[in-house]
Structure 1
C-alpha cells in the first residue's frame, strides 16, 4: 500500500523567503506541490521544473495587490485544494492563510531567521489562523507564545 501524498502549497515572496521554503526540500520533494511566488528571475530559476503560480507584487503595504492576491488565492485554492499551506512570508501569505482555512487547509508559518525578538508584520497577521507557527529563536516565544521553537532550521 502506497503512502499518502499530501498536496502542499508553498507560498512566499521571491528572494530570501523563497530560498527558505526551497531549503525545506527534504519535506516537500515527494509531495504533490505547487508554488505561489513572484515572477522574478530567482523564482524562475529556482522553480524552473516546478508548478508555479505568479502572485502580484509589490505586496508590502500595497492594498491593490493585496486585493489582487486575494482573488488569486480564491482561484488557486478552489482549483488546487491543498492539504497544507506553508509560508515563511511575506505579505502574499496573508490571503492564502485566511482563505486556506475556509478551504480546509492546515497552515504552517515559519517566522524568518533574522527576527530574533520582534515579529514581522506578516507573522503578526497570520498568527491567529496558523495551525503550526514555527520560530527559530527562544526569544520569539515571548512574542508568539503558541509557537514551536525549532531553533535554526535552515
Structure 2
C-alpha cells in the first residue's frame, strides 16, 4: 500500500448565480473532500455556501481588465496559501486567473462548459481549453467545438 499518496485539496471557483449553482450540484463528488470556494461575495453565494470556506473575488468581472488584474493577484495569494491540487470551474471570468495560476503551481484543472451552450463556446471555455486536464461538455454537439472534450451529459 502507498501511504505517501497526496491528499486531494479541491478549489471550486466560479461566478455567483448559475455558475456557482452548477458547481454546488457536484456535491456528491466534493462533499467528503477538503475544499474551498472562490466566488463573488454576494448574498446568493453567502447563503448557498454557509459553513464553507470561501474566498471572495472581484466583480463585476466579465470583459474587465481591471477585474482580471485584481483577480489574478487574488488567485496568486489564495493558491499560494491553500495549494489546491485540483481546481474545478464552470465559469465564468474568475476561473481564468485561478486556472492559469493554479496550473503554474501544479494543480490539475477541470472545466465544465455550461449547460446552456449547445453548439457555441463561452469566452471562458475558449481561454482555458488549451491548459485544462479535462474539459467537460454536456452536449455531444459541443465536441465539434472542443474536440478533446468529454461529454458526461447533463449535470442538472
TM-score of the aligned structures, taking structure 1 as reference length: 0.97
Alpha-carbon distance in 2 for matches of 1:27, 1:83: 15
SS in 2 for 1:89: coil
Once the two structures are TM-superposed, the CA of residue 153 in structure 1 deviates from its matched residue by 1.9
Q: Is the 8 A contact 2:22 2:155 kept in 1?
A: no
Which secondary structure state, in structure 1, belongs to the residue aligned with residue 129 of structure 2? helix
Q: Does 1:105 align with 2:73?
A: no
Matched with 2:147 is 145
Q: CA deviation at 1:5?
A: 4.0
Structure 1 residues without counterparts, runs of 5 or longer: none
Give the RMSD, CA atoms, in angstroms.
Answer: 1.3
8 Å contact from structure 1 (residues 5, 30) kept in 2: no
* Residue 71 (1) aligns with residue 73 (2): yes
Residues 42-79 of structure 1, C-alpha deviations (whole Å, 9 max, x = no match): 00000011000000000100110110000000000000
1:125 matched to 2:127? The reply is yes
SS of 2:37 mapped into structure 1: strand
**Which SS does the other structure have where 1:34 is aligned?**
strand
Q: Deviations over 1:110-142 (max 9, x none)?
A: 000000000000000000011000000000000
Aligned to 1:77, the other structure's residue is in SS state: helix
* Correspondence for 1:50: 52
- Cα distance in 1 for partners of 2:7, 2:80 equals 19
SS of equivalent residue, structure 2 residue 84: coil
* Long gaps (5+) in structure 2: none
Aligned length: 154
TM-score (normalizing by structure 2): 0.96
